Amino acid sequence: MIPARLQWPVGIAVVAVACVLPFVVSGFTTSQILTRAMILGIAAASLIFLASLGGWVSLGQTGLYGVAGFAVGNFVEADGGSKTFGMNIWLATILALLVTVAVGLLIGAIASRSEGIYFLMITLAFGVIIKLLFEKATDLSGFGGINQIVQPEIFGSAQLQPERIYFVCLVVSIAVYLGVRYFARTPFGLAFQGIRDNATRMKALGYNVTLIRTIAFGIGALIAGLAGVLNVWWNTQISPGTIDIGPLIFLLMIAIIGGLYRIEGAWIGALIYVILDNRLRSVELVGERVATALGIIFLLIVLLSPGGVMGIYESISRRVRRPPSGDDAPAGGEGAAAPGVAGD
Amino acid sequence: MSANEGLKAKHVATAGPRVSWSKGTIFLLAVLAVAVLGIGIQAASDATLFAQITLNGLTLAGLYFIVASGFTLIFGLMRVVNMAHGSFYMLGGIIAFLVQERMLKPDPTSFDLPTATFGSFVLPLVIATFSVALLGLIIQQVFLRWNQGQELRQALITIAISIIVADQAVARFGGIAKEISVPIERSIELPIVGNYGTMRLVMLLVAVVVGLLLLGLITRTRFGMIVRAGVDDRQMVTALGIDIQKVFAVAFLLGAFLAGLAGVLGGSVNSVNKADDGKFLLISLVIVIVGGMGSLTGAAIGALLLGLIDSYSDVYLPDAITNYGVLLTFFLLVFVLAVRPYGLFGRPG
């Protein structure tokens, strides 16, 4: 773990590198690697947010991501979808986020009464149901998806000026990262973590456990929704395949690669995943079977290092320099292992 | 778990399972009554159609039950959420199809396989189900056994396996749905219903037999006794000197076997499809969430509910909303979980 006094300098250095990168690499790399990693990073952050602070592994995040994307596609002018609203993109975006949060609160209200592996199963079921709904309901998703979704004008075309949308994603990423770190220190965030550690005691202390959890799930839905909106801004299209069971699993894989318990792992995991996804194809042994290779990598990570890349990093840094005990996690105990998730 | 639920759990543990007639349960029954009434009105207008759709629902429920019973058996005993269960189903169909294709040597210009003989149906079925069962056993022994008790890790391992299986299936089987050839007449004349698919009836029969055998196994044998004891308290069973690892291995073998069997049956009634793994994983999940995890009765009731809902909603929903039929599954989940967080027959684990 990075010592507290170095956190800001390291953070600023990372952001500085991220700002310079699009001017160094090609437009293709900016769009297909960096921007994609940012968007997937935000989506994975919604998963890690719930896992690290709430002790929940949610597989419903791609579903919520899809709700936001399809909502934008339906509200603005596009090829496919309902075509009846033709709204301004900004209004559509805000409405889409509201819809996503509403769906998230509904699912959260149901799922928040369950724990551990039950929660995982229930959110997976909801995630797949959302995908099936968009697959069947062609008046919402068009035939084979919604295409040519309008982009916000001031960001130009994601194809011609890839660095603009990249910077938008970067800003949102930073906002999500800082927001989650801030949230963890608010009384509400502390209560949420308290429920993770001992729900019975929190209830005895007078906290409304179900309500707090439901709202926290809604916040997770908002983060997933942001990623979903950015995805259609960048990609200008969305189809039921975007939120199929494969992408759902790969989002979980990103979170696992990054390590489920540290929010910055989301972007690290996303970057690693996107690079693997792009480069594996050119490995002769892999060829078309990228998913098989990714699956094997995923299996190895789960078997060898449950903490993901951040877990490897932490175990190395712990060996190098034992951190002073106690104030190891100044940001409200984000690094604390979440019981019930790590497999106790 | 909240304090209230904690107390309830203790209460249940001493008093045994008990269905409480809360306000929520009554609400659930009211919703059910409205649905039955609506279907009843439809039934009165066209009895043949109604009989056909009901039979469709029942046969579908049979298939769902075979898949979900394996899932719930594995979960109830070992707390393993087998995310590769849908993959086992799909593999059953694919292996049976590929073996049958070898045996029948189809005309390369024709899309369908020629009609199978009894042997060229049963042999692929046996090969497919036993190889899936064996694969399940290997996965359990190699990957899951030494992670006992780490629920999330075990779920992640099976998820990783499901990715690999799905991708390999696409590579070896292709993206087009194909049908397993059966040795019997495609349809049969039934009273009221009229012409009906024979294989669907066979599937229902197999489901009933599987259900009865499982029930017998669980309630009448020593193995079943250990399973029931294991579902309640694994540690105590181990402490009594029973080799629970052996029981786990058999249960996983059996669960994979059932998924493979269902895959072959589903492939002969409908088709073998590369998207089946996700679909049947969802079906298994919904059934055991609704029915209560680890409960065989719950799996049967859940399968029946889901099968009938699928079947009725396809036909009886008004045209404008027929595409939104999957929302009924969503609301089924929401209602049941809102009223009974551990499912209809589930207990806090």
- Residue by residue, pLDDT tens for chain A (344 residues) are 567 778 888 888 888 888 888 888 888 888 889 999 999 999 999 999 999 999 889 999 999 999 999 999 899 888 877 777 778 889 999 999 999 999 999 999 988 888 778 889 889 999 999 998 898 888 888 877 888 888 887 777 777 788 888 999 999 999 999 999 999 999 999 999 999 999 899 999 999 999 999 999 999 999 999 999 999 999 888 998 889 888 998 999 999 888 888 898 999 999 999 999 888 888 877 778 888 999 998 898 888 876 667 677 777 766 665 544 444 443 333 333 333 333 33
Select from A122, A245, A256 the Cβ nearest to the Cβ of B337: A122
In this prediction the ipTM stands at: 0.84
Cα distances (Å, whole numbers) of residue A105 to A46, A60, A61, A211: 14, 12, 13, 10
Instruction: Establish if A303 touches chain B: CB-CB under 8 angstroms.
Output: yes
Do residue A110 and residue B338 have CB atoms under 8 angstroms apart? Answer: yes
Can you list the residues of chain B whose pLDDT is less than 50?
1-17
Give the per-residue pLDDT at A271: 94
Q: Which amino acid is at A223?
A: I
Q: Which residues contact A247 (CB under 8 A, 6 or more apart)?
A: A62, A241
A100 belongs to a structural domain: yes
B226 belongs to a structural domain: yes
Select from A106, A291, A343 the Cβ nearest to the Cβ of B152: A343
Instruction: Establish if B340 touches chain A: CB-CB under 8 angstroms.
Output: no
B24 belongs to a structural domain: no
Nearest residue in B to A127, CA atom: B282
Question: Of the candidates A121, A250, A36, A295, which has an alpha carbon nearest to the alpha carbon of residue B337?
Answer: A121
| List of E strands, chain B | 187-190, 194-197
Instruction: Establish if A20 touches chain B: CB-CB under 8 angstroms.
Output: no
Cα distances (Å, whole numbers) of residue B40 to A161, B48, B56, B335: 60, 13, 16, 22
Question: Of the candidates B81, B84, B80, B104, which has an alpha carbon nearest to the alpha carbon of residue B92?
Answer: B84
Domain count, chain B: 1
Instruction: Establish if A325 touches chain B: CB-CB under 8 angstroms.
Output: no
Q: What is the CATH number of the domain that holds A198?
A: 1.10.3470
A326 belongs to a structural domain: no
Instruction: Establish if B320 touches chain A: CB-CB under 8 angstroms.
Output: no
B70 and B211 Cβ atoms separated by less than 8 Å: no
Chain A residues whose CB is inside 8 A of the B153 CB are 302, 306, 343
What's the sign of the alpha-carbon dihedral B200, B202, B203, B204?
positive
B26 belongs to a structural domain: no
Instruction: Establish if B293 touches chain A: CB-CB under 8 angstroms.
Output: yes
The pTM of the full predicted model, rounded to 2 decimals, is 0.86
B261 belongs to a structural domain: yes
B111 belongs to a structural domain: yes
Taking the C-alpha atoms of residue A226 and residue A41, their distance in angstroms, rounded to an integer, is 11
A331 belongs to a structural domain: no
Taking the C-alpha atoms of residue A104 and residue A288, their distance in angstroms, rounded to an integer, is 36
Domain count, chain A: 1
A38 and A270 Cβ atoms separated by less than 8 Å: yes
A50 and A334 Cβ atoms separated by less than 8 Å: no
User: Domain range holding B274?
Assistant: 71-289
Instruction: Establish if A244 touches chain B: CB-CB under 8 angstroms.
Output: yes
CA A185 to chain centroid: 20
Mutate to test the interface with B, among A128, A196, A211 (most CBs of B within 10 A): A128
Do residue B278 and residue A299 have CB atoms under 8 angstroms apart? Answer: no
A224 belongs to a structural domain: yes
Instruction: Establish if A318 touches chain B: CB-CB under 8 angstroms.
Output: no
Select from B2, B278, B324 the Cβ nearest to the Cβ of A245: B278
Q: Is B329 left (phi over 0), alpha (psi -120 to 50) or beta?
A: alpha
Mutate to test the interface with B, among A143, A245, A297 (most CBs of B within 10 A): A245
User: Domain range holding A112?
Assistant: 4-320
Q: Nearest-CA distance from B115 to chain A in Å?
A: 33
Select from A199, A289, A295 the Cβ nearest to the Cβ of B171: A289
Chain B residues whose CB is inside 8 A of the A249 CB are 159, 162-163
A204 belongs to a structural domain: yes
For B244-262, b where at least 16 C-beta lie within 10 A, e where not — what string?
Answer: beebbbbbbbbbbbbbbbb
Give the per-residue pLDDT at B19: 52
Instruction: Establish if B224 touches chain A: CB-CB under 8 angstroms.
Output: no
Do residue B286 and residue A125 have CB atoms under 8 angstroms apart? Answer: yes
Give the per-residue pLDDT at B20: 56
pLDDT tens digits along B15-73: 444 555 667 778 778 888 888 888 888 777 888 888 888 999 999 999 999 999 999 98
Q: Which amino acid is at B305?
A: L
A44 belongs to a structural domain: yes
Nearest residue in A to B3, CA atom: A200
